Chains A and B, each alone.
Chain A
Amino acid sequence: AQSVTQLDSQVPVFEEAPVELRCNYSSSVSVYLFWYVQYPNQGLQLLLKYLSGSTLVKGINGFEAEFNKSQTSFHLRKPSVHISDTAEYFCAVNEPRGAGNMLTFGGGTRLMVKP
């Protein structure tokens, strides 16, 4: 079975500072990796995904993540955060199941950007 660990439940950071949200996964097979964001009172929105190819993946809103197979990590980074980035962020892996794909999520990291 696959599992995802997000090491920080909350990350406070000042506006315009860089941020890294950590994600580690365990899987015995090749994985697809994702970061989702949930803004208050909204659904989960896909930030970025790694399927194959370049290990550095760029997403929306200036976020990027790096897939590191040897360390089984997929950390999310942004060089300069804005107040509007305050949200909860979820790392997930995809597990093909028959005709579909089940997502396994980490526990989430609440990013709190302070002025």
Chain B
Amino acid sequence: EAGVTQFPSHSVIEKGQTVTLRCDPISGHDNLYWYRRVMGKEIKFLLHFVKESKQDESGMPNNRFLAERTGGTYSTLKVQPAELEDSGVYFCASSQGTGSYNEQFFGPGTRLTVL
């Protein structure tokens, strides 16, 4: 069974440009999460989808970030326009079902560098 995949693995863009990150969760996983690790800091929650619906986007830093999950399958996270402080590693995770605990399976992350 394929794990969570993320594309691209690395992205280098200039300040002011737009970047779109993609996450493909494990097949059948309704829950999809985005996290981010800014250099030297903790991994922080960004948002959570259940199927195509945003359940919790309390961690999104500002309105330059837009996440979508059309059709409840893969998800995209767009940053427009990118700023220097957006540099970091963006992780996606998926889990099956709901309830008090469901293990989250993580992808390898996308390393974003904004110059």
A interface vs B, CB < 8 Å? 4, 32, 36, 41-46, 49, 51, 90, 94, 96-108
Contact = CB atoms under 8 A, between A and B. Distances in A.
B48 A100 contact: yes
Contact of B106 (A43, A96, A107): A43
A102 B93 CA distance: 11
Given A32-B101, A100-B56, A108-B42, A41 B108 contact: yes
Interface residues of B, number: 28
26 contacts: A32-B100, A43-B91, A43-B106, A45-B106, A46-B103, A94-B101, A96-B100, A97-B48, A98-B55, A100-B31, A100-B50, A100-B95, A100-B98, A101-B100, A101-B102, A101-B104, A102-B56, A102-B59, A103-B33, A103-B45, A104-B45, A105-B42, A105-B44, A106-B42, A108-B42, A108-B43
Contacts of B102: 101
Contact of B43 (A90, A96, A100): A90
B62 to A, nearest CB: 19
A100 B55 contact: yes
Interface string B22-54: 000000000101010000011111001010000
A41 B110 CA distance: 10
B98 A99 contact: yes
A51 B102 CA distance: 11
Contacts of B107: 43
Given A101-B102, A101-B104, A43 B109 contact: yes
B112 interface: no
B3 interface: yes
B101 A51 contact: yes
Contact of A44 (B31, B44, B50, B106): B106
A32 B103 CA distance: 11
B4 interface: yes
A38 to B, nearest CB: 9
